[in-house]
Structure 1
Amino acid sequence: MTPSPILIFPRPLTRLSSSRELVRQFTPNWFTATMGTGILALALNQIPVSIPGLHQLACGLWLFDIVLFVLFSGLYAARWIFFFDGAKRIFGHSVMSMFFGAIPMGLATIINGFLVFGASVIGPASLPIAHALWWVDVAMSLASGLVIPFLMFTSQEHSIEKMTAVWLLPVVAAEVAAASGAQLVPHLADPQVAFRILMLSYALWAFSVPLALSILVVLVLRLILHKLPHKDMAASAWLALGPIGTGALGLLLLGQDAPSVFAAVGMQSVGIVAQAIGVIGGTMLWGYGIWWLALAIMVTIRYLRDGMPFNIGWWGFTFPLGVYAVATLALARQTHLAILANAGIVLVGLLLMLWIIVFSRTALGAWRGDLFFSPCLMSNVAPITDEADIA
């Protein structure tokens, strides 16, 4: 039996009646655009090939990512302020509520950018900004990973037949924060602060990865029993690559930090073990990701053959591929295997191509207004037509 379409993205190709209607219809799945843009900036900067202007391009993308994140945050905050009753309906929606996890994951790419590009843009202030934002990101990630599953268990309607990899989004945010913490640690001068953040990052990794892998087991069963989701959810096939790539990246980066951080607090032997676990564990997760990457490519070809309509969910092609590409490059740096470096370059090239396609179609859809749609408002609610409606 083919699942019925999950109407979370499509909307008739008409302009919104007003900017107020745009605010009322704004949903957190737009933050997936900041995830995809941010990871592209970080991935381009890590390509192990000297290309003139590449660093500047990556930095420009990171600055653009900040603009997008601030804009989307303002729009979504305005929805909660002016349309509170409609906004709170998201907690009961079985799909859209999953995208709360996209907010801290989008912020994480900006935090990492402060560590990579910030010093050249704003100077020494970039480090304390990144440090402060990381704690905000951790808080949001923990809230997403706890509150949304609790709502799934208690009040939302779910079934195996309608399950997609979107279930991963709220729980994966914590491991993204863990990987960001690993990148923050080498910049911290105080050994005790670095040690605390390293240990917390390991805990964040464990808070997320085992649960995400458990969801993937159920997802495989769902695919076997009920086949592929509706074509509107085609891009969700790539989401499984996200926790695998981020999990591998987290282990690699945390293991890379471990020797110096543990040695500074008198636990040198633990650091050596952690470094080894990082390489071995990261390699094993990377290998697991090959299966999901190959499957995602085959599934996408199948969807393209049958017709795959564009929607905001296409941003699901970008971030999972991006973190897997960055993990590949990190593994190449630690193992000195040229084949991994070449594979990482190819993956980043594919990411760039997909980003251009998705961004251009998103920009067109946003201009038309057809991408702004809140499924939580699928009821007899009159459109916003008057200034008094805001009050």
Structure 2
Amino acid sequence: MGTGIMSQLLYTFPYPISGLEQLGWAFWWLNIVLFTLFTGMQLAQIVIFPKEALLMLHDPTQSLFVGAIPMGFATIVNGIVFFCVPRFGSPAVEAAWVTFWIDTGLSLISGWLVPYYMFVYHRHRMETMTSVWFFPMVPGVVTALSAAIVAKVVDSGRATQLLFTGYVLWGMTIPIAFIVIAIFFQRLMLHNLPAKESLVSCLLPMGPFGASSGALLSLGMVAMDVFNERTTPRADAALLSFGHSAAGVGLVAGLIFWGFGVWWLPMTASLLCSHWGSLPFNMGWWAFIFPMGIYCAATDTLAKLTGLQFFQVMGAMLTVAIFLGWVCIMGMTVVRAWQGHLFRAYSPSQPMVKVHAGSPEPSARNGTNGV
């Protein structure tokens, strides 16, 4: 996820710098290697230890990260459009079209399956809540953003399908995500900050803020291209009006959702800085990269649409900061993984049970929380 969004930010950097596109192309291939490696490891676990793999869905922490799979795959889909379509033409367009629908299916599975397990099998408490709760729902809006990106390189018929699919995915995702963010806000007010091990999760809401903004901005541009005076018959006045309205509403709503991040980012940064010396490094630190990367991508889109220097400067500054963060976190990840201090295998020791009101907490809670 973090490596994939980094490739996109390098490609869309608001100022022309020689070599950035090639660097983004290299990051995209690194992203494919990492995604293939870890997905292969997960599939191997499912094949070799099917019962243990199923029990992971019953773990109230590890199951939430199922959403990372479609979000990571979405960055590969976007990279096909950015890097492969200019190089390979029609075959790359077809690849982007097919992989988008695969990613859509993965997003729907995450958005429905994991909340079902949260409702039926998991036991959660307000005082232990983190913003990771909305992680299974967020892939839908990331896929909606991919719909707008893929729509720019396909024919108008397919673009129309992608456009409406993108809006539906946005509607399935963002309202639920903001409900969870509101609950998380209440949790911070009533029970103070999360444990230091999960404090970096406070930065995760930047993802929905940026993705909701970027998706509406990009889908609005697609609607304007698909339904205009040149492509839409005069008899279809409603669709013609929709194209203009979607672009205008997308810009206004995109600015509003971007504004959510303007409040959340300084607040979270101050919280993290006040505890920086005592924060233990773990895989949760990658929460710095992808949510901020999505927010930065929305900033770049605002810069493109408005032409305002403010958004261009903000986009450039965020890209540089995220790149430096990626280098530091990747370096620490490699070192800690080599030392054997980062990953732990999941090894449940008790059978899974359904959770009902008043029942004891399920044994899945006792599983390790390593990623």
Q: Normalising by structure 2, report the TM-score.
A: 0.90
Structure 2: distance between partners of 1:312 and 1:344: 26
Match of 1:81 in 2: 47
Contact 1:145 1:174 survives alignment (8 Å): yes
Cα offset, 1:262, TM superposition: 2.4
Q: Would you say 1:49 and 2:19 are equivalent positions?
A: no
Instruction: Tell me, yes or no, if the aligned pair for 1:168 and 1:239 is still in contact at 8 Å.
Output: no
Would you say the 8 A contact 1:38–1:109 is kept in 2?
yes
Distance 1:45 1:100 in 2: 27
Q: Find the partner of 2:100 among 127, 134, 143.
A: 134
* Structure 1 counterpart of 2:289: 318
Larger RCO, structures 1/2 (Cα 8 Å, 6+ apart): 1
Written as runs of structure 1 = structure 2, the 5 A alignment for 1:1-391 is: 35-120=1-86, 122-189=88-155, 191-263=156-228, 264-265=231-232, 266=236, 267-305=239-277, 307-374=278-345, 376-379=346-349
SS at match of 1:48: coil
Residue-by-residue CA offset, 1:349-388 (whole Å, 9 max, x unaligned): 11001101111111112222322214x42549xxxxxxxx
Alignment partner of 2:137: what SS?
helix
User: Structure 1: which 5+ residue stretches go unaligned?
Assistant: 1-34, 381-391
**Structure 2: 5+ residue runs without aligned partners?**
351-371
Q: Which amino acid counterpart does residue 220 of structure 1 have in structure 2?
A: F
Distance 1:77 1:232 in 2: 28
- Counterparts of 2:283 and 2:259 in 1: how far apart (Å)? 29
Deviations 1:154-199 (A, max 9, x none): 110111111101011100000000000011111112x222111100
Distance of 2:342 and 2:52 partners within structure 1: 18
Give the direction of change, closer, same or farther, for the CA distance of 1:125–1:112 in structure 2 (3 Å limit).
same
CA distance in 2, matches of 1:243, 1:268: 29
Deviation at 1:119, TM superposition (A): 3.0
Q: Residue in 1 aligned with 2:368?
A: none
Which letter maps to 2:170? Answer: W
Rounded to whole Å, the distance in 2 between the matches of 1:48 and 1:325 is: 11
C-alpha contact (below 8 Å) 2:152/2:222 kept by paired residues: yes
What is the percent sequence identity of the aligned residues?
A: 36
Using the alignment, how far apart are the partners of 1:368 and 1:125 within structure 2?
43
List per-residue Cα deviations over 1:316-375 (Å, max 9, x = no partner). 11000001011011011111110111011111111001101111111112222322214x
Tell me the alpha carbon deviations over residues 265-297 of structure 1, each in whole angstroms, 9 at most, x when there is no partner. 532111000000110000000011111111221
8 Å contact kept, 2:14–2:315? no
Distance 2:92 2:275 in 1: 43
**Secondary structure, in 3 states, of the residue corresponding to 1:371?**
coil
CA distance in 2, matches of 1:204, 1:370: 38
Q: Secondary structure at the match of 2:75?
A: helix
| Displacement of 1:120 | 5.0
